[in-house]
Structure 1
Amino acid sequence: FFLDMLKGFVPTALALSFYGIESQTVAFVGVACVVGHMYPVFARFRGGKGVATAFGVVLALSRELAFLVLLLWGALLLWKRYVSLASVTGALSAPVLMLFGNYPDHIVLMALIIAALILYKHRPNLERLVRGEELRV
Structure 2
Amino acid sequence: MTTLTLVFVVLAYLIGSVPFAVLSSKMFGLADPRSYGSGNPGATNVLRSGKKSAAILTLVGDALKGTLAVWIMAHFGSSAPLAIALAGLAAFLGHVYPVTLGFKGGKGVATAIGVLGAFSGWLALACAAVWALVALIFKYSSLAALMASLAAPLMAHFLIGEPAITAACVIMAALLIYRHLTNIKRLMAGTEPRIGKK
TM-score norm. by structure 2 comes to: 0.66
Q: CA deviation at 1:23?
A: 3.0
Q: 1:136 deviation in Å?
A: 1.9
1:122 corresponds to 2:161: no
Partner residue, 1:53: 111
Matched, 1:105 2:155: no
Q: How many residues align?
A: 136
State yes or no: 1:32 paired with 2:90: yes
C-alpha separation in 2, matches of 1:42 and 1:14 = 21
The answer as to whether partners of 1:13 and 1:61 remain within 8 angstroms in 2 is no
The Cα shift of 1:102 comes to 3.8
Q: Match of 2:137?
A: 79
Q: 1:10 is aligned with what amino acid?
A: L
Q: Distance in 2 between matches of 1:102 and 1:40?
A: 29
1:90 corresponds to = 148
Deviations 1:47-106 (A, max 9, x none): 111111111000111111111111111011111111000011111211111121242101
The one-letter code matched in structure 1 to 2:149 is A
Paired with 2:141 and 2:61, the residues of 1 have a C-alpha distance of: 19
1:97 & 1:110 partners in 2: Cα distance? 12
**Higher RCO, 1 vs 2 (CA within 8 Å, ≥6 residues apart):** 1
Q: CA RMSD in A?
A: 1.2
Where does structure 1 differ by over 3 angstroms across 4 or more consecutive aligned residues?
none
| Residue of structure 1 in register with 2:68 after alignment | 10
**Which of 77, 89, 100 is the aligned partner of 1:42?**
100
Structure 1 portions without partners, runs of 5+: none
Report the structure number with the largest CA radius of gyration: 2
Gaps of 5+ in 2: 1-58
In 1: Cα distance, 2:147 partner to 2:178 partner: 13
For residue 3 of structure 1, report the CA deviation from its aligned partner: 0.7
Shift of 1:124: 0.6
What per-residue deviation string (whole Å, max 9, x for no partner) do you get for residues 88-131 of structure 1? 11112111111212421011000000111111111111110011
What amino acid maps onto 2:111 in structure 1? T
**How does the TM-score come out when normalised to structure 1?**
0.93
